Amino acid sequence: MMDIRSMACFVAVAEELHFRRAAERLHLTQPSLSQRIRALEFEVGTDLFARDRRSVALTPAGQAFLEPARRAIENAKVAKEQALRAMRGEVGRLRLGFTVIAFYGVLPEAVRAFRHQYPQVKVELFEMNSPSLETALMTGTIDLAVLHPPLANPDLAIRSLPDEPLVLALPSGHPLASRAEIRIADLAEEPLLIAPRSIGPSIYDRVIALFQAEGISPHIVQEVTPMTTLAGLVAAGVGTGFVTAGLSRLPRPGVSYRPVTPTPPSLPMAASWLKPALSASGQRFLETVSALIGRSA
């Protein structure tokens, strides 16, 4: 099997038509270069050069061999560079999972910036709830997820991201909407919408504990997910409920957002992947996310 180095030796001699100059160009000794050319000719099965004491010339076979040899050398360079770029996470594919709420934070800007910086990485996006994202990571369906810890599976690595504060969503015509801030005690008799505990047990328990700390049993009228649907039910007058500050920054007709005291728990955010290691493109994406978070801090 002829190697790229031997082809490079052939091309150098073909362009210089002088073994000494070609050897100097390649940083080889002349005997070593001559040996490589003879081995290449043996492998090809014919002479590539006609040589005597005074001159070197390409044979017809050498002339036919020259351009394919140049292309092979160039293709080898491209292959090496592509391999290195893949190793650095600059080409390939990134399968990114996320929750609906994650897409109301830094994630859209991060995806846009990543695609701009690494246009040869194909980004595939998958929206799921957190338990489904854990399953997708474990089965290899996705490479990286932005979700809400804690995680159930110890085989998943996790990197914390800034939490999302919660605010109260209530119908715009509700009497409490006229207040700048609402106390938990004011919600004692209010119908409450909340995500199912099976989707986010930690945040569910902490919201319930917030009411119980005030001596209140929350009046849960419906469990609903995702938070975008919860906001829609608030607009329909079904009840009140907590949504993230990121979601509240997008105005929705019929819904008002107010801070609550005592302060409700924040919704934890994190990036996660299957151990032992995140793919190179995933690492580059997390670098993009970190840079954006750093600029907004």
> Would you state the structure tokens that stand for residue 249, as one six-digit string?
């920054």
Whole-prediction pTM: 0.74
Asked if CATH classification 2.60.120.260 holds for the domain at 92-163+269-296, the reply, yes or no, is no
pLDDT in the model for residue 201: 87
Q: What are phi and psi of 224, to 5 degrees?
A: -145, 145
pLDDT in the model for residue 85: 76
Instruction: Report the C-alpha gap between 52 and 45 in whole angstroms.
Output: 20
Positions of CATH 3.40.190.10 in the chain:
92-163+269-296, 166-265
Helix pair angle (4-16, 30-44), 10° resolution: 110
pLDDT in the model for residue 57: 94
Positions of CATH 1.10.10.10 in the chain:
4-87
**In tens digits, what is the pLDDT along the chain, a chain of 297 residues?**
778 999 999 999 999 999 999 999 999 999 999 999 999 999 999 999 998 888 999 999 999 999 999 999 999 888 888 787 777 777 889 999 999 988 888 899 999 999 999 999 999 999 999 999 999 999 999 999 999 999 989 999 999 999 999 999 999 999 999 999 999 999 999 999 999 998 888 889 999 999 999 999 999 999 999 999 999 999 999 999 999 999 999 889 999 999 999 999 999 999 999 999 899 999 999 999 999 998 875
Q: Thinking of the domain 166-265, which architecture would CATH place it in?
A: 3-Layer(aba) Sandwich (3.40)
pLDDT in the model for residue 134: 96
pLDDT in the model for residue 297: 59
Cβ pair 234, 190 in contact under 8 A? no
Pairing status of strand 121-127 against strand 92-98: parallel
CB atoms closer than 10 angstroms to residue 218: 18
pLDDT in the model for residue 199: 86
- Positions of E strands within the chain: 49-51, 56-58, 92-98, 121-127, 144-147, 156-164, 166-171, 182-183, 191-194, 219-223, 240-244, 255-258, 260-261, 267-274
Supply the CATH classification number for the domain 4-87: 1.10.10.10
pLDDT in the model for residue 89: 73
DSSP structure string for 214-264: TT---EEEEE--SHHHHHHHHHTTS-EEEEEHHHHTS--TTEEEE-EESPP
pLDDT in the model for residue 88: 76
pLDDT in the model for residue 105: 85
